[in-house]
């Protein structure tokens, strides 16, 4: 019966993804750090902003288009970088990029994507804009330079530089599932989970090879399997990075620079001073420090402080086109979405992501229609009726 | 066992309706837009107003009667327009009108009722007042004029003009159930749901024909089945309607005009300026823009702003005679109820609706008795003990 | 297994009572009016008062004794009047009175108790104080006078006069269970519930006869069975009672008069003016007007207004000795408990009620010990650490 | 399947402990007083403090080390005294002490530990600091003196003196389980629970003997079995203890004195005046007076009042390294943990406790890294983003 159902919302896609992915993969995708409070808060907080309905306004010409990082978009939304997305569907990042191109929204490729820069760029339909590229600071600055060069060559012009990962967070589900363990017991646990999802094994694990980090292939010496890649990446986290490294980065990258992973007004000001074109207000989807604020909570203050100087994007817990509308009303220029597109990808491949994006665009349009706003740029606090005290205005 | 139980509250009728209706129909009736937050908030918000009990007042003569839109009513309540109500019970709108007449409360016929204006008016007992008629703005203004004329001829004198439907909302349950889809898979899904409710198929689908939009029969060229009607209606939603169209409407309709679907003080003021006799503070039962405020939240401010100039009615989440009392205490002149009467209709037909209305009248009487108020007109903020901060006073 | 468990809290006694009583009886006892919000709020609200622990105070001599209505009590608690309590255990009121006498707390006999005044008074051990007697105003003032005389003769000196019952509340569970219906279907439903509890049928229904309203026997002409009595009582509710009737009552009753069922400061002031010795702040355990405030919420303001002039008792949702302590800290002189004693009675008879009272006394003593208070009269706001905003201080 | 899982959080260890311990023991460990509101509040309250993430700070040298009661610790945490811990694993306190020594955190031995002072001290690896010793005031002051002497001889230099136990709290689970009852029914209940955990019976009850209170052996005349010991202890609770007894104690104990079980600013000031080196803000893990505030709630005010004069530790509901970080940010110098280490001990023995401590240290390190703080002493209110109104700042 449930197989017959038609997924309508992000949560529906999530339910279907859960049925298709081996448990440790689903948990890797779905989970957050610690007790997953920030993860839950992210989702819940958007709902604290109540919309203000207006009637009898001429809304026959509502337009959801906008520009993000200088690029025309059908709606103010980009797909967030998600590591290992290519484990969720066969050559997953390539499928997602095609869906994003079709829907006219930017796609961001993670440093640790399965498909590499070249594979993803090659997947883009003719004339489609190139993906954005996400990078972490690596201890090996030479590798950083090489990756920037590789991205530029592939055509990328927007760099999403993630700053909230001096160390990886405590993802407790990965510990529980044995994903973070070595040894026979953990292997047995993983194997039993794989056996329960033969469809995935056949479709993704076997026919979707190779499962390594595509963009890092030239950096990881002798890297053949995923474990070698992971070991390399783990050794590359660099907790000594400071704003001076951003200055250095600025000299290395000619394109647009978005700093991703800020939650504090002071840090946002520093980003503006460092010459970034934009920031992504983000807590890494609740995957880093559990216990920090929901992004919706801190967005208004940050947007007020630096919204005039740089492009303020936000991610975390956006689960519908209506949430997207709320983010704009609270001051964002656009949103990134992480888990939702990967759920849709895991459950429905490229077509799934397209359906999701189409539904959200329709929801955004509806929210504009019923609040009486016809252009994205006009969405603001006037379209909110009440903002609970949790969101600091 | 449960079949033996006696329904006492609206929720009891709902449970019984769920057992009788095919799932896609029940979901159509029960559901709201998006994540159904506004739907839930509507119901929950009334409870935020705490009643003030008084004792040792002479309450031997408590009177629940009042006038709504110039019509004598046994209690300040009208049945809200609900499209397709005739799918819930055999010739459903006719049954409901009889129940409403018996209980001496107004019945509102939806534009998209299964029974047409003539059938419903004919069902009224001799001497009973005619139903109220609800209309959406249609692109085809000629059709609008024809429907107004048809309503007037049938005897209707109160027009409920719905303004919160420039586009239909995103009812996610309809997507999930395949009701919003074409194709074999959706048809199969619907068929399996029908098979599970043979009683309904026999009683309503077969013996209750024709299942088309009665009042629109003369407008829809060659309309034979429901799908043709739906297609016509979908093409008629008009998002370009503005207050000027209300001015035009005012010239077309000699009877009373109630604008339904306002949530904002400014819009309420505009309604007064446009010469409406009344408004219905409504978010369409949470079926249009999910995320807007509960109606109880915005009612007091609107009542204060325009209550002196026009009749302020309210609907959404009213689930008992006590909620009705709360609505009056918060400033409404009366309430409309949507789902509750249709649940009772689906589960118990005309008799069910009568029982529901009798129970609510008794509850209203009890609330008046225990707050020490003997006349409907005397119910006001004095009868509230505390209003949580969620309701803006 | 669960049969082996030892009941520790009121909730444990409740669970056991549920297993022993026919469902309609348990629901009659357990339920409240409407959606049972006030019932739930009563219970929940006490917890909003946070206790203030103090250490290293000499608490070797903590004394829980006090006086209520001029009577020495081992702790500031009385058993509330509960109609039909004698249906819950064989000759239930007589058993409960013995338990109360043993524990040295007052027992209140309801107007509609199964055991009459004489039976209950006869059950008291030698030297034990007589019960308190509860009365509603009846249309037949002669009957009122006769009952007062009967109570006085039986030795009662404290009259609990209930003023929140101009009409009986809407107890929806009774409707659902068919208890409020006549006819074959309702009878069948009741019978099936009786069949599920043969122990109760044998012990209470057969061996516990007669099941009529003992104190009313001389008033109800030809009353043989419970239905005749109920019909008489239903016809006697008098919604025309006002403060003038209290003046009249005052002239008829030489003993102490407690008015039960007040929730409002103004009414409390009127009670003081009318010459009552005390009041019971009560919403009838959430059984009358659902939606009124929890008693803990309104208690502080009432105690402040009239606590100097008369004895302020409170009931509703008190579920432990700690709640009792909270009630005192919020201004009450003592509490009444309703459902808890009847649950213990239904599950464990006289011994059950004794155990419950002993446990609560120990809890009160512990609360005094850990807040560093040695005498009941010293309990006050100083012993509270924080009172949530829900309770209006 | 679940047996294959890897415990990641304190809650995971709890789940495993539940599967290993006889129910009455698990309930003794897990439960609290009354309705367990304070127990739940303890856990929940820490989450009310939202952390403030900062980025691009050099966090390559984060150090979690600190000093507690003059002792070097790898992180600001000590194992709280837990009576009967040796019932949870074979010679449990000895195992826990070894784990604590390995992790470089203090271990506190309860007055009513199964392993005595000598056994525990002997278990410490060479060079490891001795445990802290916890004591209650006993009626027999000679026994107090003897225990202090015994502790000093064994090498203990820090005394944790518990002041919130003038009487034992009402642990309702113990009543329900029959643990607090004598007689055949209770014995049967306990036996059935033992039969369900044969592993525990073999490993702990049989091979872990003797199960008596090790440190009290010389005090309890002729004490052979646990019941004799319990009877002795129960007779020793002394509710007459006051601050003068603390003065006396101060003269008897040359080492450091920590008073454990304070919740009030005034009491904290008195502790400073009495010459204690530190206090533990504690409500005994919600096991004494249910209804008092969560410790996180009262901590800030106490730390502000006396933090400059003595070492303010806190316990209750700390469930992760992130909670530990929060406690420091709210003003504590360090935390004690009770149930978490015993859950890990019950489920995994010494290795379990080590794993738990290692995971928490990593979490603390991560919280410091992502809030941009490198030294424990620098953690303060600046690292909090928002503190809900429940926590009084
Ligand atoms: C499975 C997963 C992997 C992620 N990998 C990356 C990554 O490689 N780089 C990055 O900057 N952010 C990564 N993120 C964070 C996302 O870019 C984004 O900030 C977050 O998912 C937004 O929250 P949402 O999932 O609630 O929409 C990842 C998130 C998830 C869920
Ligand atoms: C199934 C359904 C169909 C509805 N159809 C109409 C309609 O045709 N026209 C209209 O103005 N409102 C319509 N409404 C909205 C109701 O008139 C009313 O505003 C709403 O149901 C009130 O909320 P309640 O259901 O919580 O009482 C519909 C509501 C439901 C539930
Ligand atoms: C089953 C039941 C019957 C009651 N009957 C009476 C009654 O006959 N007279 C009266 O004054 N109050 C009556 N009450 C109300 C109680 O006296 C008391 O106010 C209430 O039970 C207190 O709330 P509690 O049950 O939460 O303790 C009744 C309550 C219950 C639950
Ligand atoms: C099973 C158990 C036994 C305890 N025994 C003692 C004890 O003997 N002495 C003492 O001072 N505290 C005792 N405590 C309280 C703990 O020292 C500590 O204050 C409390 O457990 C902290 O709360 P937490 O369990 O939420 O971490 C005990 C706690 C538990 C759970």
Query: Please, what is the angle between helix C321-329 and helix C339-371, to 10°?
Result: 70
What's the confidence (pLDDT) of residue D393? 66
Res D212 pLDDT > 60: yes
Tens-place pLDDT, residues A335-374: 999 999 999 999 999 999 999 999 999 999 999 999 999 9
Bond into A210 cis (ω within 30): yes
User: What does the pLDDT average to over D210-218?
Assistant: 91
Residue A68 main-chain phi, psi, to 5 deg: -125, 130
What is the Cα–Cα distance from A212 to A219, expressed in whole angstroms?
Answer: 12
User: Which residue of chain C has the CA closest to D174?
Assistant: C8
Q: For residue C13, how far is the Cα from the chain centroid? A: 16
Residue C47 near chain D (CB below 8 Å): yes
User: What does the pLDDT average to over B4-18?
Assistant: 93
| Active-site choice (B14, B284, B326, B333) | B284
- Strands A71-73 and B66-68, bridge-based pairing: unpaired
User: Which residue of chain C has the CA closest to D389?
Assistant: C388
User: What's the CA dihedral at A229, A232, A238, A243 to 10 degrees?
Assistant: -50
Which ligand is closest to the CA of B342, given by its number?
Answer: 2
Place C188 in a pLDDT band, splitting at 50, 70 and 90.
confident
By percentage, how much of chain C surpasses pLDDT 90? Answer: 87
Tens-place pLDDT, residues D356-388: 999 999 999 999 999 999 999 999 999 999 887
Give me the half-sphere count of Cα atoms (radius 13 Å) on the Cβ side of residue D175.
18
**Cβ atoms of C84 and C58 closer than 8 Å:** no
Place B58 in a pLDDT band, splitting at 50, 70 and 90.
very high
CA of D291 from ligand 3 middle (Å) equals 26
D337 lines ligand 4 (CB under 6 A): yes
What's the confidence (pLDDT) of residue D2? 45
Tens-place pLDDT, residues D85-116: 999 999 999 999 999 999 999 999 999 999 99
- Best residue among D338, D342, D343 to mutate for probing ligand 4's pocket (most ligand atoms within 8 Å of CB) is D338
Res C32 pLDDT > 70: yes
Residue A91 CB partners (closer than 8 Å, separation 6+): A114, A115, A119, A123, A208
Res C1 pLDDT > 50: no
- Best residue among A338, A353, A356 to mutate for probing ligand 1's pocket (most ligand atoms within 8 Å of CB) is A338
Q: Which of B370, B387, B388 to mutate to test binding with chain C, by most C CBs within 10 Å of its CB?
A: B370
Res D340 pLDDT > 50: yes
Question: B265-269, B368-372, C14-18, D212-216: which has the minimum mean pLDDT?
Answer: D212-216
Res D47 pLDDT > 90: yes
Res B281 pLDDT > 90: yes
Res B389 pLDDT > 80: no
Residue B141 main-chain phi, psi, to 5 deg: -65, -25
CA of D317 from ligand 1 middle (Å) equals 31
Query: Which chain A residues are Cβ-neighbours of B242 within 8 angstroms?
Result: 56-58
Give the closest of C37, C240, C242 to B47, CB-based: C37
What's the confidence (pLDDT) of residue C227? 83
Query: What is the distance between the terminal CA atoms of chain A, rounded to a whole angstrom?
Result: 45
Res C359 pLDDT > 90: yes
CA of D128 from ligand 4 middle (Å) equals 24
Looking at this predicted complex, what is its ipTM? 0.95
Tens-place pLDDT, residues B207-263: 999 999 999 988 887 767 788 888 898 899 999 999 999 999 999 999 999 999 999
The owner of tokens 């449990």 is D92
Res B81 pLDDT > 50: yes
Nearest alpha-carbon partner for D178 in D165, D194, D196, D197: D194
What is the Cα–Cα distance from A50 to B230, expressed in whole angstroms?
Answer: 31
C64 annotated ligand binder: no
Bond into B210 cis (ω within 30): yes
Res D25 pLDDT > 70: yes
Place D246 in a pLDDT band, splitting at 50, 70 and 90.
very high
Give me A168's structure tokens. Answer: 């990886």
User: What does the pLDDT average to over C264-289?
Assistant: 98
Residue B53 near chain C (CB below 8 Å): yes
- Strands A256-262 and A278-281, bridge-based pairing: parallel
What's the confidence (pLDDT) of residue A2? 46
Contact A52 B262 (CB under 8 A): no
Average pLDDT over chain B reads 95
B318 annotated ligand binder: yes
Higher pLDDT, D14 or D175: D14
What's the confidence (pLDDT) of residue D177? 85
What's the confidence (pLDDT) of residue D390? 73
Place D220 in a pLDDT band, splitting at 50, 70 and 90.
confident
What is the Cα–Cα distance from C55 to A32, expressed in whole angstroms?
Answer: 42
Give the closest of B34, B180, B189 to A4, CB-based: B189
Place C37 in a pLDDT band, splitting at 50, 70 and 90.
very high
Nearest alpha-carbon partner for C295 in C307, C304, C282, C280: C282
The owner of tokens 């402080």 is A305
D386 annotated ligand binder: no
Q: Which residues line ligand 1 (CB under 6 A)?
A: A 28-29, 42, 80-83, 110-112, 134, 162, 260, 282, 284-285, 287, 315-318, 337-339
Residue C313 main-chain phi, psi, to 5 deg: -105, 170
**Cβ atoms of A80 and A315 closer than 8 Å:** yes
**Cβ atoms of B294 and B44 closer than 8 Å:** yes
Res C386 pLDDT > 90: no
Which ligand is closest to the CA of A82, given by its number?
Answer: 1
Contact C58 D242 (CB under 8 A): yes
Res C393 pLDDT > 70: no
- Atom number, ligand 1, closest to the C-alpha of residue A316: 23
Contact A289 D366 (CB under 8 A): yes
What's the confidence (pLDDT) of residue B188? 86
Res C128 pLDDT > 50: yes
Place D3 in a pLDDT band, splitting at 50, 70 and 90.
low
Nearest alpha-carbon partner for A112 in A30, A24, A215: A215
**Domains detected in chain D:** 2-387 (3.20.20.70)
Nearest alpha-carbon partner for D184 in C6, C19, C353: C6
What is the Cα–Cα distance from A241 to D160, expressed in whole angstroms?
Answer: 43
What's the confidence (pLDDT) of residue D1? 38
Tens-place pLDDT, residues A67-118: 999 999 999 999 999 999 999 999 999 999 999 999 999 999 999 999 999 9
Res B122 pLDDT > 60: yes
Residue D123 CB partners (closer than 8 Å, separation 6+): D91, D94, D95, D97, D98, D115
The owner of tokens 């802290």 is D132
Residue D390 near chain A (CB below 8 Å): no
Res A221 pLDDT > 80: no
| Active-site choice (D90, D157, D284, D326) | D284
CA of B102 from ligand 2 middle (Å) equals 22
Contact D49 A292 (CB under 8 A): no
Query: Please, what is the angle between helix D265-273 and helix D295-306, to 10°?
Result: 40
Average pLDDT over chain D reads 95
What is the Cα–Cα distance from D175 to D182, expressed in whole angstroms?
Answer: 11
Give me D375's structure tokens. Answer: 């030294």
What is the Cα–Cα distance from B44 to C239, expressed in whole angstroms?
Answer: 31
């Amino acid at each position: 019966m449930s197989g017959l159902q038609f997924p309508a919302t992000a949560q529906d896609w999530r339910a279907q993804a859960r049925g298709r992915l081996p448990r440790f993969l689903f948990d890797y995708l779905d989970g957050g750090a610690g007790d997953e409070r920030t993860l839950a808060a992210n989702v819940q907080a958007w709902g604290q902003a109540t919309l203000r309905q207006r009637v009898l306004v001429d809304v026959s010409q509502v337009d959801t288009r906008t520009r993000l990082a200088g690029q025309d978009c059908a709606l103010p939304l980009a797909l967030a970088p998600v590591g290992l997305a290519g484990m969720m569907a066969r050559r997953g990042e390539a499928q997602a990029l095609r869906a994003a191109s079709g829907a006219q929204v930017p796609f961001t490729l993670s440093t640790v994507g399965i498909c590499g820069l070249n594979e993803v760029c090659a997947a883009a339909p003719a004339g489609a804009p190139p993906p954005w590229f996400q990078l972490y600071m690596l201890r090996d600055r030479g590798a950083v330079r090489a990756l920037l060069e590789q991205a530029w060559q592939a055509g990328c012009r927007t760099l999403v530089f993630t700053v909230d990962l001096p160390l990886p967070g405590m993802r407790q589900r990965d510990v529980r599932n044995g994903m973070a363990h070595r040894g026979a017991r953990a292997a047995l646990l993983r194997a039993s989970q794989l056996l329960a999802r033969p469809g995935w094994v056949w479709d993704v694990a076997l026919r979707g090879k190779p499962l390594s980090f595509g963009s890092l292939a030239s950096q990881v010496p002798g890297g053949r399997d995923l474990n070698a890649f992971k070991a390399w990446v783990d050794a590359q986290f660099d907790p000594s990075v400071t704003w001076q490294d951003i200055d250095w980065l600025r000299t290395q990258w000619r394109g647009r620079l978005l700093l991703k992973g800020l939650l504090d007004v002071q840090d946002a000001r520093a980003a503006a001073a460092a010459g970034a074109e934009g920031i992504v207000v983000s807590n890494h989807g609740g995957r880093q420090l559990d216990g920090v604020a929901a992004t919706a909570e801190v967005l208004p203050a940050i947007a007020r402080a630096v919204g005039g100087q740089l492009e303020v994007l936000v991610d975390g817990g956006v689960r519908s086109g209506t949430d997207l509308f709320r983010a704009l009303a609270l001051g964002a220029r656009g949103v990134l979405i992480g888990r939702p597109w990967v759920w849709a990808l895991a459950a429905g491949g490229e077509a799934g992501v397209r359906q999701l994006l189409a539904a959200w665009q329709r929801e955004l349009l509806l929210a504009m229609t019923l609040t009486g706003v016809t252009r994205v740029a006009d969405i603001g606090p006037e379209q909110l009726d009440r903002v609970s005290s949790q969101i600091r205005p």
